[in-house]
Amino acid sequence: MQREGSIADSSLLSEARALYRAGNCEEAASLFRQCRGNDCAEALFFIASMILDKSINPRTSEDPEKLLQKSADSGFLPAKYRLESLKEHQASIDDHLAKENEKITPPPSFSEDDILKNNGELSLERRKESVLYYANQGYVNAMYEYGMINLDEECRDVKVGAFWLGRAAQKGHAMAQYELGCLYLKGDGVPKDDLMALLWLGRAREQGIYRAHCQLAKIYTDRKNKFYSPEEGVKLLNQVKELCPEAYMMLAQIYLRDDIVQYDAQKARDYLEKAKSEGVLGAYVEIAKLYISERRYSEALPLLKHVVDRQDGESLYLLAVIFERFSENRDLDNVIDNIDNGRQENDEKAQQIRNEYSNENADTESVLKHSENNVQENSASISNDKKSQNSNQDSLVTDSVIEMFAGIIGDIKDKCYSDIAFELFKKSAEQGFTDAQYRLACICNKKGLSDEAAKWYKKAADNEHIAAMYDYACMLKDSLDNESIPSYSPKPGETGRMPSSFKLVQQSPDRQHGYRYLKEYDNYKPKYHEAFEYMNKAALGGEPRAQYLVSQMYSKGEGVRQDFAQSILWCEKAANGGDLDAQLYMAEMYDKGEVLDVNLQKSVEWYRIVADKGNAKASFKLGKMYFDGRGVPQDYAKAFSLYTKAAEKGYIPAMESLAVCYINGRGCSRDERQAEKYLSMAVERGSDNSVELLASLYMNADSKVHSSAKAMNLLEKEVSLGHTQSMLILSRLYLSGDEVPKNISKGLKLLERVVAEGNREALYELGMIYYEGKIVDRNYRRAVALINDSAQQNYVKALYMMGIFCYRGIGMISKTGDAFDYFRKAGELGYIKAYLALGQMYEKGIGGVCDYHEAANYYRILINANYDKAYSLLANLYLRNSSNIQINYDEAEKWLYIGAKKNIPECSYRLGILHMEEKVRDSSVDLGLKLIRDAAERNYAEALYYLACLFTEGNLFPKDYSRAISYLHRAVGQNHLKSTTMLGKMYRYGLGCEINNFSASDLLSIAAKCGDHEAQLELAKMYRDGAGVDRSYVDAYMWTVLCLSCDNTYRDAINFKNSLLSHLSQRELKNGQIMAIKYLEIIEDNRNKHSEQTDLCQA
């Protein structure tokens, strides 16, 4: 036989469960027993439950407690819970009986006075005493009666009531079974247990309790219930609708939903009319709700009059809604006429309105919310009167309404509709009606009564009103965001608004100050916790906006421990629920790679969803992705179109990008006047960046709108308004002398003003001025102080420069460990050059750590950022041995080949050299020369120099000094030092040209001042010979000393120096050495400027 979990058992269990739900317990037990033969835990549980509920007779071997134990031992949780409940129940019975038996007295005798005191009935206490006596004697009806007495409001003791109902239910009392099932369903006096509710209500239903059908239907039609089975629920209601009027009500509510059966407003109305005819007061309310949603107030008011005398919360709320609408539409008199005359509104227009809300739920709030969101002028009498009303004051209530609702709304003759509505909302709210509490809170909030609003928001929120939870949490959060947060100034380099208590106190310069701050913060923190608690409840209730705000609170650690995983989880739920901010946030997370891994395809999807809703920022972001070709094929026309949509909505970054498109002709024809138009619009909206762009457009001599005067007028106007960015731009113009007369003092003055405001760009730029020492005296200490202040504000260029200062020991700073930290931070903030510096530090072992593997990681980051030089840098690592990367020509060839395919000339050149040196498989000199020529055609200096060397050596080609000079000239134009030295020598000795000592001395002087030792020695010889320069043995000696400072083993330089000694006095030798020392700093600066590779020595 097949064991539990097999297909056969699964089929039997399904059939048995269906029979059990249908009330065929004997047939269900037969099938369960077949499964029980296979030791099926679920079957054992159901058999034991039916025996305990007396639904079936047990067989000889069937002990229900043992069956439950066996099922529980198999891991079936419901059996475990039922067994525990059974044991607890039996223990409580024994305990209760022991206590009650002590109280048992002979049947009480009642005097005439006992009866007369309570209008012919026994007083409650004497009645309880009597019923308890007979219940203890085992009378089932007494047990039920005593249980119900304890559920009564007069002596509310739900646990005692549940106990006695349980005893009566076990003895087969049908109404006790029904009431006990309801208690389990609500969790009132017993633990909330849908399974136990299902079992007891099912037993009551078998005994003909029709209301049990309705309660079971509630379970089956509740989406959140694990026993959700809508077809079964509808079937049960249809079985008893003729016998139980409440079933008509429930069926009507189901037909007004669209998740169980097809929406049918007319059928719902028919069922409600039947329930109404049977005297179900709730039907009056439901029909009134439908009329209100259709604006048929003349028909809703009589229905409410019929039930409002009960002054229950819902009917008062609906009446308040009508008066609130009257205050908006001012048409009460016409409605009263409709009531008096019995006139109906146009049926066709009413049907049109009914069709409009056909997808809405039938609960109070959703029906009325539908009406609020779809205000149309379709109701004939109401809309016509509304157009004719011009008064700014509310109309007064007519005598007809005073007479109709005098008992409810009292003396209201001099009150306006909105005041009446407010009072009715308050009455309803005080009776605990949640929708009224929420609406009253909204009105109070609108009136500025924030304390009263918070009070009613909280009450509604505590009653599980989702919108109230959200609004109350927003009120709390807004008050906290606007509140003065206890301040604490962390040490330089600390970040984060809410550091941990331990970290805060430990890092506080004043330990007592730290503890004082913590005390303040501990008083402040619980408020955020309360805001989070209510926001989280709203989020769990499915409110998308609340889900997004919960995600933000998780992200910021507001009221809850910071948790980015939870933040993304809630944000994704909110985005899927349609919250626009959440969708935009998801797009940005996938775009930036913050928290989530970069996924450009998903980013584009989310941006497109939000852009389609008309969001300007999303349109701009999507346009930028098309412009950059990120996640989508590059498409300037599409980008231009999206930029235009966003710019038309006033989004400033889109205006700026659109202007750039017009300036460069990307996705459109060049039109600088259109660019001027959009930039001017952005400037008017306060964009500092647009000021800079517009000024640059005016300064561009090739622009059709070129006007230095306009640029200066624009900037001076912005400066007069105190705009910092304009001061900074104007200071740059004065300092550079571009398009305006150079004025260093004025430029520095403006720059100092911006620095005084703490602007990080200005701090950096003034620091660089002091560092370079071109327009002011060089001052490293001042430079480091200014740039450090800028770095503290996370300005990436400043962070990078601080890394340079730490590495080079500038301004008394010499910490390579700090250099790593500054470079890393700059890289994390998007400054690619910082990753290059980190890669080179690890490659060269700067700071005592040589790690090619780490260097390779940083070079790969640069490759992903489309930094061309990184391909050759990564390939170079595989051409050298190290402790963690061995020489690997194949890997080097792979990266160089990828770079060459991307038309990166350096990669083409280096790959060509590998072929020339036969370092790769299938090496080919022809292919190598082709690659080198390709690089030379793109003016790559190394390739030009290499070809020049080939033509001067004459190995692969016949010697051709003229072609070599041609290549060298092009390389010199790229500031290539070796080419400069070589070309100088060729002019010196007349190789391929006439001797030209003047040109030679100029070229060799440039190379020598940049530290090329060959050029230095050659220049020294020219000074000795007086060739192209005035003869000077001192200068010759100086350049020889500088040459040897670069390479003290250079034999030619040593011999040349010795030959000079006989021509120099001791004084001249000393002067030459002093001149060499002064030149060393110049050479260092020039080497940085003309260095072929990006190096850490460069700023």
Decide if 1017 is inside a domain.
Answer: yes
- The C-alpha atoms of residue 984 and residue 1005 are separated, in whole angstroms, by 9
φ/ψ of 59, rounded to 5, equals -80, 170
Q: Which residue has the tokens 């290059």?
A: 836
Pair 1076, 1045: CB distance under 8 Å: yes
Q: Tell me, what's the pLDDT at 216?
A: 87
Q: By the 8 A CB rule, do 585 and 599 touch?
A: no
Domain match, 455 and 329 both: yes
Question: Do 201 and 224 reside in the same domain of the chain?
Answer: no
DSSP string, 955-986: SSS---HHHHHHHHHHHHTTT-HHHHHHHHHH
Q: Give the Cα separation of 995 and 987 in Å (integer).
A: 5
Return the structure tokens found at 740: 């305006």
Residue 706 domain flag: no
Look-up: residue for tokens 């809405």? Answer: 360
Residue 9 structural domain: 1-74
- pLDDT for 623 equals 94
The CA distance from 1039 to 1034, in Å, is 9
The answer as to whether 712 is a domain residue is: no
CA distance linking residue 1074 with residue 890, whole number of Å: 51
Domain final residue, candidates 867, 887, 921: 921
Token reading at 39:
């030791």
Q: How many CA atoms lie within 13 A of 857 on its CB side?
A: 9
In whole angstroms, what is the distance from residue 841 CA to residue 510 CA? 38
> For residues 474 and 450, what is the distance between their CA atoms, to the nearest angstrom?
12
Q: Does 704 map to a domain?
A: no
Give 10-residue mean pLDDT values along the chain (1099 residues).
Answer: 47 78 78 73 83 75 81 77 69 56 45 42 67 81 86 77 89 89 86 86 84 85 79 82 79 77 79 79 78 75 70 75 68 44 38 37 42 37 37 41 56 66 82 84 85 84 79 75 46 38 38 41 58 82 86 82 87 91 91 83 92 92 92 92 92 92 90 89 84 81 79 80 81 80 86 88 90 87 90 91 83 69 87 86 77 84 84 84 73 87 89 87 87 91 91 85 91 89 92 90 90 89 91 91 83 88 88 86 69 43
CB-based burial, 922-954: b 16+ in 10 Å, e otherwise = eeeeeebbebbebbbeeebbbbbbbbbbbbbee
Asked whether the beta carbons of 268 and 260 are under 8 A apart, the reply is no
> Phi/psi at 635 (nearest 5 deg)?
-150, 95
The reply to whether 1093 falls in a domain is: yes
225 and 176 belong to one structural domain: no
CB 905 within 8 A of CB 938: yes
Burial class (CB in 10 A: 0-12, 13-18, 19+), 690: buried
Tell me the Ramachandran region of residue 773: left when phi exceeds 0, alpha when psi lies from -120 to 50, beta otherwise.
left
Q: What is the pLDDT of residue 725?
A: 80
Task: Give the pLDDT confidence score for residue 123 in this predicted structure.
Answer: 61
Whether 323 is covered by a domain: the verdict is yes
Which residues neighbour 669 within 8 Å (Cβ) at sequence distance 6 or greater? Answer: none
| Burial (CB count <10 Å: 0-12, 13-18, 19+), residue 1032 | middle
As a whole number of angstroms, the distance between CA 223 and CA 361 comes to: 14
> Which residue, 455, 477, 499, sits at the end of a domain?
477
> Residue 227 in contact with residue 198, Cβ under 8 Å?
yes
- Strands (E) across 826-922 are located at none
* Composition of the chain by helix, strand, coil, percent to 5: 70, 0, 30
461 and 419 in a common domain: yes
Q: Helices 281-293 and 297-308 sit at what angle, rounded to 10 degrees?
A: 160
Q: Are residues 143 and 258 in the same domain?
A: no
Looking at residue 523, its pLDDT comes to 45
Q: Is the dihedral of CA 907, 911, 912, 916 positive or negative?
A: positive
Domain boundary among 436, 458, 477: 477
Closest C-alpha among 997, 996, 948, 998 to residue 972: 948
Do 229 and 199 fall within a single domain? no
DSSP label at residue 108: P
d(CA 48, CA 66): 8
Q: Give the pLDDT confidence score for residue 369 in this predicted structure.
A: 42
Q: How many residues does the chain have?
A: 1099
Structure tokens at 752: 């100092």
Q: Are 1038 and 1076 in contact (CB under 8 A)?
A: yes
Q: What angle do CA 167, 173, 177 make, to 5 degrees?
A: 75
Alpha-carbon distances of 1019 from 979, 1016, 1042, rounded to whole Å = 15, 5, 11
Q: Determine the pLDDT at residue 611.
A: 93
Is the residue at 35 inside a domain?
Answer: yes
60 and 171 share one domain: no
745 vs 757: CA distance, rounded Å: 19
Number of H-type helices and E-type strands within the chain: 60, 0
* Beta carbons of 1016 and 1043 less than 8 angstroms apart: yes
pLDDT of residue 185: 86
Task: Give the DSSP H/E element, type plus range, for residue 791.
Answer: helix 780-792
192 and 252 fall within a common domain: no
Q: What confidence score (pLDDT) does residue 507 get?
A: 40
Cα Rg of the chain (Å, integer) = 45
What pLDDT, on a 0 to 100 scale, did the predictor assign at position 920? 83
pTM: 0.54
Number of separate domains in the chain:
6
The three-class DSSP label of residue 788 is: helix
Cα separation, 758 vs 211, whole angstroms: 75
**Tokens 């067994």 label which residue?**
83
- Which domain CATH number covers 162? 1.25.40.10
Q: How many other CB atoms are found less than 10 A from the CB of residue 338?
A: 19
Secondary structure (DSSP) of 19-41: HHHHT-HHHHHHHHHHHHTTT-H
Residue 846 lies in a domain: no
Same domain? 334 vs 458: yes
Question: Do 957 and 1075 belong to one domain?
Answer: yes
Clarify whether residues 130 and 32 are in a common domain. no
Look at residues 1007, 1006, 1008, 985 and name the one whose alpha carbon lies nearest to residue 997.
985
Q: Are residues 881 and 964 in the same domain?
A: no
Contact 944, 924 (CB under 8 A): no
121, β-bridge pairs: 118
Please give the C-alpha separations between residue 452 and each of 437, 443, 458, 470, 529, in angstroms, as whole numbers: 11, 10, 10, 17, 21
Alpha carbons within 13 angstroms on the beta-carbon side of residue 568 total: 12
Q: Which of 941, 942, 943, 961 is nearest to 952 (CA)?
A: 961
Give the pair of three-digit tokens for residue 320: 């308040």
